Structure 1
Amino acid sequence: MAIIDVIKFNGLANRDWLVYRFPGESFVFGTQLIVGEGQIAVFVKGGKAVDFFTAGTHTLSTSNIPLLQSIVNLPFGGRTPFTAEVFFINKTSKLDVLWGTSDPISLIDPKYAVRLRVRAFGQLGIRITDFRVFLTSLIGAVGDGDVVKYDTVISYFKGVIVTKMKTLIADIIINQKISVLEIAPRLEDISAYSKQQLSGEFERFGIEIVNFNLTSINFPDEDFETINRILEDKAAFDLIGDSRYNVMRSFDVMETAAGNEGGGSIAAAGIGLGLGAGAGVAVGQTFGQGIGEAMRPPATSAPCQKCGTPNAEGTKFCSNCGDKLAVVKLPCHSCAALVDERMKFCPECGSSLTKKKCPGCSKENPPGSKFCSDCGTKMEG
């Protein structure tokens, strides 16, 4: 085998390579080793990483590869040939590694009680931090003159990521009772927690997770349509109230049941439900009473004194003119009878209920006042 005087790897244009094994094993002291930026060159002997070199140009000698020198037991000095393997490792970070669940996570949403098929997608970045551990774990997969790309390593870790993420997401949704529809604001927190949980799996291979992002948690449109129907029903419930919503739902159920049995009446629908003739009539009576309750016009208070419009009982202001409907009663200054504050004369004794204006300071005083409460001027009769 020819003696190699220069060891160099120019790298690949797309920088997707992770490990490159230099095609040659026979070197001499004095050989030039050229290591590019973002690379590290590792000398391996007997399957063990013994010496490494960072970016720059290096002349191999017994002084700068002492570990290798002790293994090959070469005499000091000279261009004595020796054999070793040289691996170039890419130290730059790869930040665009995409991952996603290959099959959905089937679970019950805790808020809507609907079975959902949840999928998760994200992106992570990795880099080699412990090249000795990494190379020792990977060296068996590297052939003579081969380039190991990121895809080879990532394909293994994607399985680890997906398994871990399925467990984490299911735990958050089921055990912490967080609806899938409400999980989006927590993606950042879940991403940070997921990175923490996954780091150990990568570190034992000498790899660091630079960043980890869970970008999306979603489910099929047909599952979303089911939740939409639930939300529409809830909106109707909130809008028309308990009793009318129950009557509306009862109509739907009874109509379906009656239609299935070929009957058109509520009593027939009750029989169609397996309740028997008597029970069917009872069901009809029950629903009839419920409908009557729901459809009965609401109770009204006295007509508005300003415009005469009737308003629902308990209404504080007229729905037509906005005038105040609540009646405030004050005691008459003369006979103490409770009188509507808007009346001008007491219906019991006929005394005037109009406030008096002070002739001295113009302050308004309660009806029946003899002296002004502000300046003391005697009030006119």
Structure 2
Amino acid sequence: MAIIDVIKFNGIASRNWLVYRYPGESFVFGTQLIVGEGQIAVFVKGGKALDYFSAGTHTLNSKNIPILQGLINIPFGGRTPFTAEVFFINKTVKLDVLWGTSDPISLIDPKYAVRLRVRAFGQFGMKISDFRVFLTELIGAVGDDQIVKYDTVINYFKGVTVTKVKTIIADIIINQKISVLEIAPRLEEISETSQRSLSDEFERFGIEVVNFYLSSINFPDEDFETINKLLGEKAAFDIIGDNRYTVKRKFDVMETVAGNESAGGLAATGLGLGFGAGAGAAMGNTFANMPGSDMNTHPKGLACKKCGEMNDAGSKFCCNCGEKLIIAQIACYSCSTLIDENVKFCSNCGSSMMKKICPGCHKENKPGTKFCADCGTKLEE
């Protein structure tokens, strides 16, 4: 067995190496050990990490390998041979470890009630913090080529990383009721929570998570189109109001049924007539409940808009709740639409119907007046 006088690892072209096992095992006192920057050399015997050396040139002797000396009882003096394994470990920080969900998280968005297939992507940084623990766990992974690359370790941690991040994201969306479309401001918080959750798992192998970033949470375009459709309908709802939107939706359904010729002949006609009758009744009820509708007037009396009680014709106040039955209407000064006299804004153009108080003489002026009719002071818009 050849005696090795110099132990050295020049590294490989890329920084992707993590552990390198020196090919020889027979050494003597006086052997030169050269450790490069960003490396640490560890002597291993019987599967145990013993003496270690940081960057620099070292001459092996009984003083700088005391644990190994005590274990194998090397005689003092001379160039006594001894056997051990030498591992070089990459101590530099690797910041470009990419991760992503290989399969989506399927969940229901709490705001839009739409099933979404959510994916997440990001990156993290790692470094070896406890070489003894790390090497003990990884010695069996060193193959015939003497090199363990980052990919070997990262492939394991990608599984636990994705599992924990999925759990955290699902908890925020489902339990905290945060919509996926509104989760972007929480990315930093999710990143910090994920790093804390993953740190214990990495530390079990002597690895420190230097940083962790969740750069994107998204879902397929077809899921986004579904939400866009809902947002469009919601916009219509906000613009035309509750009752009118309900009427529109019922007309849409009637139009669909009327245009459905799949049933054929009299069957389709009967379905259309039957549905039209039912929808017509529902439509009538809807219009009857809308403010200002003449259908609130019963042939034999007046229906209270508040409680629905029928009152005798000519009654001014409801006999059941006291609500005023007949409300005078006035024309909007801006668009001339007839509206109830007690409303604050026109239901057609939105103009204010509130009287304007003159800041000079405190006289009340009609809505829309620009100058006080009494003193001529300009009124606030």
Tell me if both proteins adopt one fold, taking TM over 0.5 as the criterion. yes
Q: CA deviation at 1:312?
A: 3.7
CA distance in 2 between partners of 1:327 and 1:145 (Å) = 90
The Cα offsets for residues 73-132 of structure 1, whole Å up to 9 and x where unpaired, read as 111121101110000000000000000000001000011100000001010000000000
Establish whether residue 301 from structure 1 lines up as the match of residue 330 from structure 2: yes
Establish whether residue 71 from structure 1 lines up as the match of residue 71 from structure 2: yes
Letter in 1 for 2:271: G
Match of 1:283 among 266, 279, 282: 279
Give the match for residue 34 of structure 2.
34
Question: Which consecutive aligned stretches of 4+ in structure 1 deviate over 3 angstroms post-superposition?
Answer: 261-264, 268-271, 288-300, 307-320, 322-328, 340-343
Give the match for residue 86 of structure 1.
86
Stretches of structure 2 that go unaligned for 5 or more consecutive residues are 295-327, 358-362, 367-372, 376-381
Give 3-state SS (helix, strand or coil) of 1:132's partner. Answer: helix
CA distance in 2 between partners of 1:166 and 1:6 (Å) = 49
Q: 1:288 to 1:42 in 2, by over 3 A?
A: same
Give 3-state SS (helix, strand or coil) of 1:27's partner. Answer: strand
CA distance in 2 between partners of 1:84 and 1:45 (Å) = 5
Give 3-state SS (helix, strand or coil) of 1:50's partner. Answer: strand
Q: Which segment is superposed worse, 93-102 or 295-304?
A: 295-304
Q: 1:355 to 1:139 in 2, by over 3 A?
A: closer
How many aligned residue pairs are there?
326
CA distance in 2 between partners of 1:13 and 1:248 (Å) = 69
The Cα offsets for residues 201-246 of structure 1, whole Å up to 9 and x where unpaired, read as 1000000000001111100000000001111111000001111111
Q: 1:75 to 1:245 in 2, by over 3 A?
A: same
Letter in 2 for 1:106: S
Q: 1:236 to 1:310 in 2, by over 3 A?
A: closer
The Cα offsets for residues 221-275 of structure 1, whole Å up to 9 and x where unpaired, read as 00000001111111000001111111111111121123236799xxx999638xx
| Residues 166-315 of structure 1 aligned to structure 2 (within 5 Å) | 166-260=166-260, 272=271, 277=274, 281-288=277-284, 290=286, 300-302=329-331, 304=333, 309=336, 312-314=339-341
Q: Which segment is superposed worse, 135-144 or 199-208?
A: 135-144
CA distance in 1 between partners of 2:290 and 2:352 (Å) = 29
Query: Is the contact made by 1:43 and 1:85 (CA closer than 8 Å) also made in structure 2?
Result: yes
Q: CA deviation at 1:289?
A: 5.5
CA distance in 2 between partners of 1:342 and 1:85 (Å) = 99
Establish whether residue 108 from structure 1 lines up as the match of residue 137 from structure 2: no
Q: 1:325 to 1:109 in 2, by over 3 A?
A: closer
Query: Is the contact made by 1:43 and 1:52 (CA closer than 8 Å) also made in structure 2?
Result: yes
Q: CA deviation at 1:163?
A: 1.2
Task: Tell me the percent identity.
Answer: 69
Q: Which segment is superposed worse, 248-257 or 115-124?
A: 248-257
Stretches of structure 1 that go unaligned for 5 or more consecutive residues are 329-339, 344-353, 357-381
Give the match for residue 5 of structure 1.
5
Letter in 2 for 1:281: A
Give the match for residue 163 of structure 1.
163
Query: Is the contact made by 2:33 and 2:57 (CA closer than 8 Å) also made in structure 1?
Result: yes
Query: Is the contact made by 2:104 and 2:117 (CA closer than 8 Å) also made in structure 1?
Result: yes
Q: CA deviation at 1:23?
A: 1.0
Give the match for residue 373 of structure 1.
none
- Over the aligned positions, Cα root-mean-square deviation in angstroms equals 3.3
Query: Is the contact made by 1:269 and 1:280 (CA closer than 8 Å) also made in structure 2?
Result: no
Q: 1:48 to 1:341 in 2, by over 3 A?
A: closer
The Cα offsets for residues 314-355 of structure 1, whole Å up to 9 and x where unpaired, read as 5669999x9987499xxxxxxxxxxx9679xxxxxxxxxx98
Give the match for residue 337 of structure 1.
none
CA distance in 2 between partners of 1:355 and 1:153 (Å) = 87
CA distance in 2 between partners of 1:303 and 1:260 (Å) = 43
Query: Is the contact made by 1:255 and 1:269 (CA closer than 8 Å) also made in structure 2?
Result: no
Letter in 2 for 1:179: S
Q: 1:10 to 1:257 in 2, by over 3 A?
A: same
Give 3-state SS (helix, strand or coil) of 1:154's partner. Answer: helix
Q: CA deviation at 1:182?
A: 0.6
Query: What TM-score comes out, normalization by structure 2 length?
Result: 0.77
Letter in 1 for 2:282: T
The Cα offsets for residues 31-55 of structure 1, whole Å up to 9 and x where unpaired, read as 0001111100000011111110001
Q: CA deviation at 1:190?
A: 0.6
- Which protein has the larger Cα radius of gyration, Structure 1 or Structure 2? 1
CA distance in 1 between partners of 2:70 and 2:179 (Å) = 63
CA distance in 2 between partners of 1:238 and 1:308 (Å) = 21
CA distance in 2 between partners of 1:189 and 1:251 (Å) = 46
Q: 1:4 to 1:144 in 2, by over 3 A?
A: farther
Establish whether residue 148 from structure 1 lines up as the match of residue 148 from structure 2: yes
Give 3-state SS (helix, strand or coil) of 2:20's partner. Answer: strand
Give the match for residue 16 of structure 1.
16
